[in-house]
C-alpha cells in the first residue's frame, strides 16, 4: 500500500510520513503539484494524500490533473485542508475525493483515518 503525500509544508510532510510509516504504509513525498504529477506518472500510487493549498497549481487543480493521468481515475484521494469549511468540503467530495481531513489533525489516528477513507488499510494491497 503506497501513498503519495503532497504538501508544501515541511512540518506537515514530516508528521504525515511518520504517522503513516508507523502504521505500515509506504510513503512517497512531493512538495507541490508538479512534483506530484511527475511521481504519479512515473509510478501510480495506491492512494494520495493531497494538501488543498499547494504553491504551484492549487490542490484542486492538482487533483484534476492527477485524476486525468492513466490509471489514476479511481485512486482514492484524501485532501488535507487548513480551513476548508463545509462549503469547500462538500465541493471536494462532489468532485470524487475519498475524504477530507482538517488540519490540525491528530497524528495518532491519522493512519487509521486514511486507511478508512481510502478503503485500503496499511499493509493490505
Nearest distance in Å: CB 81, another protein: 8
- SS3 state of residue 103: coil
Q: Is 103 among the residues that bind another protein (CB under 8 A)?
A: yes
Does 96 help bind another protein (rule: CB under 8 A)?
A: no
Of 83 and 125, the one with the shorter C-beta distance to another protein is 83
Angle at alpha carbon of residue 9, lines to 112 and 82, rounded to 5°: 65
Q: Binding pattern to another protein, positions 17-56, x when CB under 8 A?
A: -x----------------------------------x---
Instruction: Work out the burial of residue 56: count CB atoms within 10 Å of its CB; fewer than 13 is exposed, 13-18 middle, 19 or more buried.
Output: middle
Cell numbers found for residue 63 = 487533483
- Where along the sequence are the contacts to another protein (CB under 8 A)? 9-12, 14-15, 18, 53, 80, 82-83, 85-87, 90, 103-108
Amino acid at each position: 500500500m503506497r501513498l503519495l503525500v503532497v504538501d508544501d509544508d515541511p512540518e506537515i510532510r514530516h508528521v504525515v510520513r511518520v504517522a503513516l510509516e508507523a502504521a505500515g504504509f509506504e510513503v512517497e513525498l512531493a512538495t507541490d503539484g508538479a512534483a506530484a504529477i511527475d511521481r504519479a506518472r512515473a509510478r501510480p500510487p495506491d492512494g494520495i494524500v493531497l494538501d488543498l493549498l499547494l504553491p504551484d497549481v492549487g490542490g484542486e487543480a492538482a487533483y484534476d490533473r492527477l485524476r486525468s493521468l492513466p490509471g489514476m481515475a479511481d485512486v482514492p484521494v484524501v485532501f488535507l485542508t487548513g480551513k476548508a469549511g463545509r462549503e469547500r468540503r462538500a465541493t471536494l467530495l462532489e468532485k470524487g475525493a475519498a475524504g477530507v481531513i482538517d488540519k490540525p489533525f491528530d497524528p495518532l489516528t491519522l493512519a487509521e483515518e486514511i486507511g478508512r477513507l481510502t478503503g485500503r488499510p496499511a499493509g493490505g494491497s
